[in-house]
Amino acid sequence: MREFFFEKRGLYYRCNTFNPQKETLFFVHGVSGSSSAWHVYERAFEKKYNVISLDLRGHGKSIKFNRYEDYRIEKFSDDLRELLKYCGVSKCIIISNSFGALVAIDFIGKYQKMVSSAIFIGPHFAVNKMWPMRIIKPFLAFIIKRKPTFLSKNKGGHIDYSKYLNTGDWNVQRTVADITNTGFWIYCYAVAHTCNFAGEKILEKIKIPTLIIHGAKDTIFPVKYGKAMAEKIKNSNLVIMHDIDHIIVLNRPQKTIEIIKNFLAGKAL
């Protein structure tokens, strides 16, 4: 895997040497995370597939923009389209985690012809329907009104997630490391925009083969939302991992990789 920077959109990304005969996997991480969460997955798939993993805008080594409006979900999904076009990819398999699933849903809703299949890990589709958001949303609105007039555009870095293996949904050290790297304001901006995103109608229009992986012990996006997604997407498979919470990507990589490989190979899940 080699490192690149897409100047037009301010995006850091990694990819291997592309082979036009291979399918392309496109990895999209969660809020306050970065592409470093996908290192194990890159190694597992880079020989058989073209692989792209990016740092979403404001995250990792990508540019940090100043305005609240810069972190609307559609801004993230438009970045995905522009990066794929820049890399010469007309069709991909999109693999998204947590907040990244919202970005992927919006992307598929607008550019489904660019996606051959979708894999959602610990996803949600309408965060505004969760009761905790009734409390969090007004608090975020209060915080955002007091935003600084200028945010540094300095790039962040990458978290070494090997230091946080087998940590739970609400692990303080991992969360502080993530938010510190992304920046408090950008974290608030991104989370606030999740409250304004409703993807129910998009799910009903998804026709491509879809895999949903959800942890039975997930306390951030409870498994009932994964089940609801599977009901709304006709051509979908739901795999529930009973021994894990929301942190599937970091804490169960080998099992997750096995499930993804079986799905892509058309094997029973």
Write out the two tokens for 171: 């692990």
Write out the two tokens for 180: 């510190």
pLDDT at 119: 98
- Which residue pairs, CB below 8 angstroms and at least 24 apart, start in 163-172? 164/250, 165/250, 165/251, 166/251, 167/247, 167/250, 167/251, 168/245, 168/247, 169/218, 169/219, 169/220, 169/245, 169/246, 169/247, 170/219
Q: Which residue spans within the chain are E strands per DSSP?
A: 2-6, 11-15, 24-28, 50-54, 92-97, 115-121, 210-215, 236-241
Rounded to two decimals, the pTM is 0.95
CA–CA separation, 158 and 156 (whole Å): 7
pLDDT at 146: 72
CA–CA separation, 255 and 240 (whole Å): 12
pLDDT at 151: 54
- Number of helices (H), then strands (E), belonging to the chain: the values are 10, 8
CA–CA separation, 107 and 64 (whole Å): 21
Q: What is the DSSP letter of 3?
A: E
Local confidence pLDDT in tens for the 269 residues of the chain: 999 999 999 999 999 999 999 999 999 999 999 999 999 999 999 999 999 999 999 999 999 998 889 999 999 999 999 999 999 999 999 999 999 999 999 999 999 999 999 999 999 999 888 878 878 888 888 877 776 655 555 678 999 999 999 999 999 999 999 999 999 889 999 999 998 898 999 999 999 999 999 999 999 999 999 999 999 999 999 999 999 999 999 999 999 999 999 999 998 77
pLDDT at 142: 81
CA–CA separation, 1 and 52 (whole Å): 9
pLDDT at 196: 87
pLDDT at 61: 96
pLDDT at 218: 98
Domains assigned to the chain: 2-264 (3.40.50.1820)
